[in-house]
Amino acid sequence: MVAPSQSARISETRLDRFAAFISQFVPDAITASVILLIVLVITAVTLGNSPVQVMDAYYRGLWMLLPFTMQMTLIVVLSSTLAATPFFRRAVLRLSRYPKTTTQMVLAAASLTAAVSYCYWGLGFALGAVIAVYFASEAERKGIAMDFPFFLAVVIASISVWQFGLSATAPLLVATPGHFLHDSIGIIPLSRTIWSPAAIIHVTAFMGALLLIGCWMMPAQGRPVSSFPQTIEAIEPIVVDESPGGTYSERLEKTPYFPAVLAFALLAWLWYHFSIKGLSLDLNSLNTTVLMLAFLLHRNFKRFSSALEKAVIASWPVIVVYHLYAGLAGLIQYTNVGEKLAALTATVSNEYTYPALTAAISTVFSFFIPSSGGQWAVQGFVTTNAAAAVGVSAERGLLALSIGDHMGNLTSPFWYVVFAGIARLDFRLFFGYGLLFAGLWFVIGVIVFTFAPC
């Protein structure tokens, strides 16, 4: 392998120092929610809201995402369960054997994760960790230099393309008849959002830049994946006793027929949802599809249950922390904080500064509302009205908002903790590297959605 240049070694050292520095100050997701709570309460009171109004707003928000939290929990759990199937594990293992150099490892792992995430973001999160570990393990076996925390950060960043993929919540929502802004903006087809020239340009440009930086800045002498034994355990195959013996009930658990029946029932519902009712893709139909595939690919309830038990471990941040963030969303939505912040967009922007300001405001909101759909529900009305006021299309506002939405995902601990739970690794080890890719995502997004057609 060619030795790194002096400039590369200097950049590598600075990057490592930056990541180590950031890791000392980044709190966990629960602590971060408390800090944000204090900031928001002070802001709300300063803007004229009474303490009683502030307290009521927080409590109204605290439990307002109960159904959505269960949907998000299912996305994480079912995606992890599906990623644990022998089909996916064997496929990733085979693909990990092809790359022969560090550059090829980075290109293959990040591109594969991006492709999966474009199809379904939950599977990208769940399978991304598996992809990173398998490829890093294979690199170590072949003697290829690889710093696993940095490699993991590159893989996580590649998941970002889901914002303009098939499971993008806000674009799917505005393409659905009867959505909450239907009277003001009508139906916006996917050809003007996720399949617009601007969205395609952004995905292509971001992935190109990410792969280039990921290959160039990979530390030449780093921490191999074997340094993190718990991470290795996360990809160990699920071993269950599938021998034909046992009690009658145990034999039923091992038969492939009952999962097939249940999968057929779910497939029938999907056919009814799309063909008979004519509805579009949504969170429930996505989860139904993943559940159906998990039943089919695990082939029996014994293996499915074992995978599900392991997958639940990764879902704890969503189960609890979402409600803490929902309380913060209540402070924004049920006081005048959100209105004051979002209204700035219409008063200080024009057609050239609007995307940047929308993305910046959306970044702030995304710290408190870790959901693309939830953020659109809070900001959609103001975003589309501000777009009309400055003379740009509603879809340009939506796409700019999506840049800020994922900027928040890349700069707040919440989703890093979820990913770290799947990889069984302290998120602080790779969070600092992620900030570099967050800046890349924001700059490219603002430029593209300011000038590219959509």
Q: Enumerate the domain spans of the chain.
A: 29-238+313-451
Terminal Cα distance for the chain, rounded: 44
Q: Give residue 368's pLDDT.
A: 65
The CA-based dihedral angle spanning residues 91, 289, 280, 382, taken in that order and rounded to the nearest 10 degrees = -80
Collect all residues with Cβ–Cβ distance below 8 Å to 127 and sequence separation of at least 6: 79, 83, 88, 92, 113, 116
User: CA distances (Å), 361 to each of 168, 278, 408, 413, in order?
Assistant: 19, 35, 10, 18
Q: Give residue 242's pLDDT.
A: 59
Q: Give residue 134's pLDDT.
A: 92
Q: Give residue 316's pLDDT.
A: 72
For residue range 2-36, list pLDDT tens digits in order: 344 444 444 455 666 766 676 676 677 678 778 88
Q: Give residue 373's pLDDT.
A: 64
Rg (CA), the chain: 23
Strand ranges (E), 187-339: none
DSSP letter for 274, please.
Answer: I
Q: Give residue 448's pLDDT.
A: 97
Other beta carbons within 10 angstroms of residue 59's beta carbon come to 13
Q: Give residue 10's pLDDT.
A: 42
Q: Give residue 422's pLDDT.
A: 76
Q: Exposure pattern of 436-447 as b/e (b: 16+ CB <10 Å)? A: bbbebbbebbbe
DSSP letter for 65, please.
Answer: T
Give per-10-residue mean pLDDT for the chain (454 aa).
42 61 68 85 94 93 80 83 88 94 96 94 85 94 92 95 88 77 87 95 98 91 87 67 66 86 95 87 82 93 88 76 80 82 75 92 76 70 84 94 91 77 82 90 97 93
Under 8 Å between Cβ of 95 and 108: yes
Q: Give residue 97's pLDDT.
A: 94
Under 8 Å between Cβ of 138 and 131: no
The single-letter code of the amino acid at 334 is Y
- H helical segments located in 142-167: 148-158
Two tokens, residue 275: 């063909």
User: CA distances (Å), 228 to each of 25, 93, 236, 270, 415, in order?
Assistant: 22, 19, 13, 41, 20
For residue range 303-341, list pLDDT tens digits in order: 898 888 888 876 777 788 778 877 887 888 789 887 777
Under 8 Å between Cβ of 4 and 220: yes
Q: Give residue 3's pLDDT.
A: 42
